[in-house]
Amino acid sequence: MNESKTSERATVEKAQGGDADAFAELVRAYQRRAVSVAYRLLNNIEDASDVAQDAFVKAFRSMGQLEDAEKFGSWLLRIVGNLSLNFRRARSLRSAVSLDGDFSSDNDAQDAASKFRLVAPDDDDTEQGHEMQGLVRDAIAKLPEKQALSLILFSVEGLPQKQVAEIVECSVELVKWNVFQARKKLRELLSGQL
Amino acid sequence: MSKEDKYNPNDPAFLASRALDESLTNEQRELLNDLNDEAESFRSVDDFVKSLRDEKIDIDWATFQQTIQDRITSEYDDAQLDRVDELVQGATELPDSWNEKRFTQGVLQKIESTSQVRHPKLRWMKAMMPLAAAAAIALAVTMMPWQDSTNAPTSIVSIGPSIHLGHRLPLKNAVALVSFRHEPIAADETASRSRVSFVSIGSGSMAQSQASAPPL
């Protein structure tokens, strides 16, 4: 464990010195987790991939600002979380604007439908399992931002509470509270499925 | 008359004093009785509060703790909450269509494309800034001795750091990366062999002496 930490530290320091290969190694090490977090917050794989890529590019450009090389993971996931939440807010705003619009023609209605597909389940969600997944994803989308992020990082990604606190930039106590509230709300929202 | 001395027929102390003299009107006697009743009720409240203060409160802490415990257990209901985590995990697995290799390539391409646009510019800017400043100073200094037209300098402008790559440019007040040389023209000749007295990279106004500049 310590050995891998030391090795990662060395890789991060190389990347900070401008070594592109070292950064590529970091991308390979963290990409799945970065995309997973973004996907769980955004509920759309294309958006999640874009946001995660942007997060890596941003991280590469700001490597000099990372003071503790051992905290690269937390730092990266904070960027991913922030970009995802920004994207989620912008998307909600777009949905709200389209809701205000008057869908007078069929084309308008189709456009609106395609916009709502950003948060809707995939095409083949007709089977029961997929239907369930859709319900869960919709329920997560209803959670407040910090609760959703804390739940995803702690309960789903399995990160320690201390690291979640670093990523969400709050106290460990608040992480516990956010996770508890998120689970409670999900239990209510999914009461028929439990 | 001071405020305190102002006559108040309903003042309780005044009424009590008049009661001793048995000189109260019926109305004043009723008012005094009301005031007495009110004072009595306040006394009762005060006694009640005092009794509360003295009372020993006996709490069944064991029951209290159990009640809290039951409440928390029902809120946390581990089995249900674990199921919530399972559902969240299952519903948000990355789809098969997501490709790790393609993602890595995408990130590296984005980084490369932004770096290519930015770095050369920065490199040239870094090189040009001090050189341009130095050349501007050098130009001003070397132009000074040829104030009269018979001794005017011939200026040849070339792109690049070497005069061998030079090219005469019809520039006026232009700013360019240049090699610069000049030579004084003797009174009895229209053009003379090049004699480099100063070579630099910089900027300046060249067009005025272009006519008399020899070919490179």
Which has the closest alpha carbon to A34: A153, A125, A169, A140? A153
Please state, in angstroms and as integers, the Cα–Cα distance from residue A2 to each residue in A5, A165, A168, following that order. 5, 22, 25
How many Cα atoms sit within 13 Å of B75 on the Cβ side?
Answer: 11
Q: Is B92 on the interface with A (CB under 8 A)?
A: yes
Cα gap A8→A29, rounded to integer Å: 10
Q: Do residues A42 and A152 lie in contact, with contact meaning Cβ atoms separated by under 8 Å?
A: no
The one-letter amino acid at B90: G
CA B192 to chain centroid, in Å, comes to: 63
CB nearest A28 (choices: B77, B83, B104): B104
Q: Which CATH class is domain A125-194?
A: mainly alpha
pLDDT tens-digit readout, A21-30? 999 999 999 9
The mean of the pLDDT values for chain B is 68
Domain with CATH 1.10.10.10 in chain A: 125-194
Q: In this predicted structure, what is the pLDDT of residue A81? A: 94
pLDDT tens-digit readout, A57-115? 999 999 998 989 999 999 999 999 999 999 988 887 776 665 554 444 444 444 433 43
Cα gap A62→B71, rounded to integer Å: 48
CB nearest B84 (choices: A133, A135, A186): A186
Task: Look up the ipTM and state it.
Answer: 0.72
Q: In A, which residues are within 8 Å of B76 by CB distance? A: 180
Q: Do residues A184 and A177 lie in contact, with contact meaning Cβ atoms separated by under 8 Å?
A: no
Report whether pLDDT(B100) > 60: yes
The one-letter amino acid at A65: Q
> Which is it for the CA torsion A179, A185, A189, A192, positive or negative?
positive
Q: In this predicted structure, what is the pLDDT of residue A27? A: 94
Which has the closest alpha carbon to B203: B169, B184, B180, B182? B180
Report whether pLDDT(B17) > 70: yes
Among A74-78, A90-94, A124-128, B130-134, the range scoring the smallest mean pLDDT is A124-128
Domain with CATH 1.10.1740.10 in chain A: 1-121
Which has the closest alpha carbon to B207: B172, B180, B177, B168? B172
Taking CB atoms and an 8 Å cut-off, how many pairs form between chains A and B? 95
Q: Is A35 on the interface with B (CB under 8 A)?
A: yes
Q: Which CATH number among 3.40.50.2300, 1.10.1740.10, 1.10.10.10, 1.10.3720.10 corresponds to the domain A1-121?
A: 1.10.1740.10
A77 compared with A192, residue with greater pLDDT: A77
Q: What is the pTM (predicted TM-score) of this model?
A: 0.52
